Amino acid sequence: MTGPLPRGLVVLLGAASAVVVVAGLRAAAWLVAPVLLALVMVIVVSPVHRWLRRRGLPAWLATATLVTAVYGVFLVFTAVVVGSLVRLAALLPGYTERARALRAGAADRLRAWGIGPEQFDALVHSIDPGELASSAAALLGELTAVTTSIVFLLALLLFFSVETGTVGGRLEAVGRARPRVRVALAGFTGKTRRFLVVTTAFGAAVAVLDTIALLWLGIPLPVLWGLLSFVTNYIPNVGFLLGVAPPALLGLLSGGWGTTLSVVGVYVVLNFVLQSLVQPRYVGDAVGLSAVLTFVSLVFWAWVLGPLGALLAVPATLLVMAVLVDVDPRAEWAAALLRTAKSEKGHRS
């Protein structure tokens, strides 16, 4: 009779399995990321389906209403973004001369400070402002390539929305056989919904304030940059940096350094304070993830799934914890390390 495997061998086998799974996720990121996005979107709006059913609507009408709502929000958002990007692509070539003037001014200033003129000249001349036009054309080409992904995502949203009405019965069936699995999945949906509600509330407030400020500063396409602030708000910790770069650069091209500093100042006051200092406290309380785990999950899922992984870092981490930690009573030690102190105290009580 053979005894249990040595602990070191178990650890090595687990690590090897994790590497294989992560490699598979990276290879299938084109499929996994849209599926996870569709799942998260349907989790958010699923209470609407239950509310409509309690109001007496038949199941098919409640599902049709849910699908229409999801499609409507997604298509309006996509239309605004695509339309703004088309305008941006047409706008960028007009700043070519302004970019050349800024480059020349920066070169003169650095030469006046005695900073290596030969090396700097070689660097700035290697950057052709005329590439703005080619970048704009490439941007339009990317929009065509994204169309296929959008169609695939819409199909996923349809199928997930149709299945919403049967999720409750399926969870009850799972709960009869595996009570902890049902509790873990219910915890995942609840925490994901709370995370998205809190993040959406902060993101909407920041987006409105950013749009008003950029409109007042005269930055082109303020609605697009407000939407960018809203989307990057779902990226923990570093979303502020991703949201400020495009309007700050456009402010430099359209109004000079003063406008750029004004844009950065507005974003520091609004986005950095709210997104990086205030919001993480509420998000941590809502989902029970420590700040360190939230940041590590951002880096990890962005590497595994790409840009969508950065947006879905928190829901993806919650799903992994539900499947690997919350369903196993022997993994309570891992949960204690990964949760915030407040959520761990509440979990024990």
Give Cα 333 to chain centroid, integer Å. 29
Distances in Å between the alpha carbon of 342 and those of 126, 198, 286?
53, 18, 10
**Are 170 and 182 within one domain?**
no
Q: Does any domain span residue 8?
A: no
Number of domains in the chain: 2
**Are 105 and 247 within one domain?**
no
**Are 194 and 341 within one domain?**
yes
Task: Band the pLDDT of 300: cuts 50, 70, 90.
Answer: very high
**Which residues pair with residue 339 across a beta bridge?**
289
Residue 87 has a pLDDT of 78
Mean pLDDT computed over 66-92: 76
The residue ranking higher by pLDDT, 226 or 337, is 226
**Are 291 and 306 within one domain?**
yes
Residue 26 has a pLDDT of 92
Domain-terminating residue out of 130, 145, 175: 175
Task: Band the pLDDT of 190: cuts 50, 70, 90.
Answer: confident
**Are 134 and 147 within one domain?**
yes
CB 216 within 8 A of CB 262: no
Report the phi/psi class of residue 236: left, alpha or beta, with left for phi > 0 and alpha for psi in -120 to 50.
Answer: beta
Q: Does any domain span residue 290?
A: yes
Q: Does any domain span residue 6?
A: no
**Are 187 and 131 within one domain?**
no
> Tens digit of pLDDT for each residue in 90-129?
777 777 777 677 666 666 666 666 555 555 555 555 555 4
Q: Does any domain span residue 19?
A: no
Distances in Å between the alpha carbon of 87 and those of 74, 83, 84, 210?
20, 6, 5, 19
The residue ranking higher by pLDDT, 241 or 118, is 241
Name the CA radius of gyration of the chain, rounded. Answer: 24
**Are 41 and 160 within one domain?**
yes
**Are 182 and 163 within one domain?**
no
- Domain with 322, as residue range(s), is 178-349
Nearest to 189 by CA among 202, 170, 162, 205: 170
Residue 168 has a pLDDT of 67
Residue 338 has a pLDDT of 66
Task: Band the pLDDT of 321: cuts 50, 70, 90.
Answer: confident
Give SS3 for 340: coil
CB 315 within 8 A of CB 36: yes
Mean pLDDT computed over 298-305: 90
**Are 168 and 182 within one domain?**
no
Nearest to 37 by CA among 319, 300, 228: 319
> Tens digit of pLDDT for each residue in 17-60?
888 999 999 999 888 888 888 888 888 877 887 888 888 888 77
Q: Does any domain span residue 116?
A: yes
Mean pLDDT computed over 134-155: 53
Q: Is the pLDDT of residue 343 over 60?
A: no
**Are 163 and 193 within one domain?**
no
**Are 51 and 141 within one domain?**
yes
Distances in Å between the alpha carbon of 120 and those of 105, 110, 111, 131, 311?
12, 8, 9, 19, 37
3-state helix, strand, coil in the chain (%, to 5): 90, 0, 10
Q: Is the pLDDT of residue 303 over 70?
A: yes
Q: Is the pLDDT of residue 250 over 80?
A: yes
Q: Is the pLDDT of residue 135 over 60?
A: no
Measured between alpha carbons, how far is 340 from 326 in angstroms, rounded to an integer? 15
**Residue 130 belongs to what H/E stretch?**
none
CB 234 within 8 A of CB 195: no
Q: Does any domain span residue 10?
A: no
DSSP state of 339: B
Q: Is the pLDDT of residue 206 over 80?
A: yes
Domain-terminating residue out of 135, 156, 175: 175
Q: Does any domain span residue 14?
A: no
Q: Is the pLDDT of residue 62 over 90?
A: no
**Are 259 and 344 within one domain?**
yes
Residue 77 has a pLDDT of 76
User: What is the residue-averaged pLDDT of the chain?
Assistant: 76
The residue ranking higher by pLDDT, 143 or 167, is 167
Single-letter amino acid code for the residue at 149: S
Task: Determine what percent of the chain is predicted with pLDDT higher than 90.
Answer: 6
| C-alpha dihedral (210, 215, 219, 224), degrees to nearest 10 | 60
Which span out of 67-81, 178-192, 202-216 was modeled with the highest average pLDDT?
A: 202-216
Q: Does any domain span residue 12?
A: no
Domain-terminating residue out of 175, 206, 227: 175
Nearest to 195 by CA among 95, 286, 71: 286
Quickly count: other Cβ atoms within 10 Å of residue 42's Cβ.
Answer: 23
